[in-house]
Structure 1
Amino acid sequence: MSTNPANLLRERGLQVTAQRLAVLRAVSARPHSTADAVAEGVRAEIGTISRQAVYDALGILSEKGIIRRIQPAGSPALYEDRVDDNHHHVICRNCGKTVDVDCAVGETPCLTAADDSGYLIDEAEVIYWGTCPECRAKQQ
């Protein structure tokens, strides 16, 4: 796959638009951002864009596998452009900072289910929760 955003869109059968390119750049610049944070980044780059246009772009880019949507329990969806592997995340309970965690085993799906119930499992999603170093330092 191409690393050029316009070529990546074309390879996935999508029309190249300024809005989609700006959304891709915003997600790349700030991984693990909410849709609202992505919209702020897009507006800073190209000016006026509706919230719905950003949500639509995020939806189609996620659907086509260009970006990844994760939704931690009790939290808004987050978007990132690291889609080439099956990694996990750790989230701070205090500030919400989210960082990537490489797979414990290293091969998709990274975890083996005790009982797959006949499914062909190709992905495992794990979210670790805790307190980030910055929040721990503030607490001490």
Structure 2
Amino acid sequence: MDTRAEGRLREASLRVTRPRVAVLEAVSDHPHADTESVIRHTRERLGEVSHQAVYDVLRALTAAGLVRRIQPTGSVARYEARVGDNHHHVVCRSCGAIADVDCAVGGAPCLHASQDHGFVIDEAEVVYWGTCPRCSTRTTPTSHPDREDIR
């Protein structure tokens, strides 16, 4: 019996391999994970796997449309398995936490450009910025010393 990840790989005409299944499951289980987190979660499932193998799998999954790569300003690349619905993101300015924000309308794109310059627009990407509930209750703001290591 196929796992959900194996079925998604087959539907995308990708060969089913243990690293691909493990990476897809890691991204599905940990939305907005950075590459280092995906590597860590993949190693928990498989044991040893090289950084390069995970990077290659992430690239293949992104190209196949099974995962989406996002990179808010000041952050490392993040990956999510929620694809195809044109949702947006809200990012905490203090700790870097990311959450999904559903589109205001059902179809993509949910925003319409005042000028399209002849482009056929099929997606709008919006990033909202603010302070997450956890950081807003702190008496002193959290400053992450290295924006490259936001979790």
TM-score by length of 1: 0.94
Alignment of structure 1 residues 32-51 onto 2, 5 Å: 32-51=32-51
Residues 74, 114 of structure 1: alpha-carbon distance in 2 compared, 3 angstrom cutoff: same
CA distance, structure 2, for counterparts of residue 4 and residue 48 of structure 1:
23
Counterpart residue identity of residue 14, structure 1: L
Q: What per-residue deviation string (whole Å, max 9, x for no partner) do you get for residues 46-98 of structure 1?
A: 10001111111011101100011111112111101101300000010111110
CA distance, structure 2, for counterparts of residue 80 and residue 59 of structure 1:
13
Bigger mean CA deviation after superposition, 34-43 or 4-13: 4-13
Higher-RCO chain (CA-CA 8 Å, sequence separation at least 6): 2
Counterpart residue identity of residue 105, structure 1: V
Counterpart residue identity of residue 79, structure 1: Y
CA distance, structure 2, for counterparts of residue 16 and residue 82 of structure 1:
20
Counterpart residue identity of residue 23, structure 1: V
Query: Is 1:96 aligned to 2:126, yes or no?
Result: no
- Identity, in percent, stands at 55
- Aligned-residue offset at 1:3: 8.0
Report the counterpart of residue 9 of structure 1 in structure 2: 9
> Where does structure 2 lack aligned partners over 5 or more consecutive residues?
141-151
Report the counterpart of residue 113 of structure 2 in structure 1: 113
TM-score by length of 2: 0.88
Report the counterpart of residue 62 of structure 1 in structure 2: 62
**Count of residues in correspondence between the two structures:** 139
- Aligned-residue offset at 1:7: 1.9
Q: Return structure 1 stretches of 4+ with deviation > 4 angstroms.
A: none
Counterpart residue identity of residue 40, structure 1: R
Report the counterpart of residue 53 of structure 1 in structure 2: 53
